[in-house]
Amino acid sequence: MRKNETYNVCVIVEGNEEECLFNIVKEFGVHESIDLSVLNAMGASNIGPYYQYQLNDDVYDCVVCVYDVDFKFNEESSAFNKVRNDLYSILGDYALVDSVSFCTNPNILQILLLGCDDLSFVKLNSASKKENTKIVNRYWNKIGKQKKNQKGQPVCSYYDASKWQLRIIEDSFKYEEYSYATLLNNSLKLDMNYKNYTEPGSNIISLLLALKNGDIQFFKNINSSIYSNDCQ
């Protein structure tokens, strides 16, 4: 970090849902001492290469990754474990992989829903967007709304994280239908252990709070585990 300048943090996100969350974060949850950049890797397989490139660049003071577990921590061929293996090939230690990884089980939709209601009402038991449509529709009723086909028969559209759906979600926070403060408070109740077969969990709240509070030491600690000295 250069004197009298903001601390530059780069968050590499897996896809559009994560980018939606961090658009909300940039609106409501970044301290003035931090300059936050969000890079959408457009898929789990791109996170490792994105991370390596940004890590070797001197533009950012700290680089971290945000990606989903999808209840597949123990599946070797899962996208989640591919990301971990890619990061391991760069960092050489799974403890270091953990230090730069902010993950949600099953997926980041769980965090967005916590901006709407308590975990007891929005707990996700599936990683399937189709299966989670009903709960999404409860809070964003234009998504997953029942329609009629050409024969007049009722059909149900599904949540698929398309751009128009994510815009509805993002705008619901921007125009204060839902609160980012509520998202933070409810996320505190989520188990920090995301390496679970069946239960939701996430450590992303630690990242969100550090960004909100301007906790630069949080990011320096991440870098010190990698470089054995503070970020410069």
Q: What pLDDT, in 10s, does the model give residues 24-48?
A: 999 999 999 999 999 999 999 999 9
Residue with the larger pLDDT of the pair 185 and 147: 185
Cα–Cα distance, 25 to 6 (Å, whole number) = 17
State the pLDDT at residue 1.
Answer: 46
Q: How confident is the model at residue 49 (pLDDT cuts 50, 70, 90)?
A: very high
Q: Which residues of 20-39 are buried (b: 16+ CB within 10 A; e: fewer)?
A: bbbbbbeeebbeeebebebb
State the pLDDT at residue 198.
Answer: 86
Q: How confident is the model at residue 5 (pLDDT cuts 50, 70, 90)?
A: confident
At 29, the amino acid letter reads: G
- The H-assigned helical ranges of 78-203 are 79-91, 94-100, 109-113, 119-122, 133-139, 163-174, 180-187
Q: How confident is the model at residue 149 (pLDDT cuts 50, 70, 90)?
A: low
Give ∠ CA 180-182-188 in degrees, rounded to 5: 110
Q: How confident is the model at residue 153 (pLDDT cuts 50, 70, 90)?
A: low
State the pLDDT at residue 196.
Answer: 83
pTM of the model: 0.92
Q: What H or E segment, with its residue span, contains residue 202?
A: strand 201-202
State the pLDDT at residue 150.
Answer: 64
Dihedral pair phi/psi, residue 122, rounded to 5°: -120, 15
pLDDT tens string 161-219: 999 999 999 999 999 999 999 999 999 999 999 998 889 999 999 999 999 999 999 99
Average pLDDT, the chain: 93
Nearest Cα to 133, choosing from 102, 168, 109?
A: 109
For the chain, how long is the longest CA-to-CA vector?
A: 67
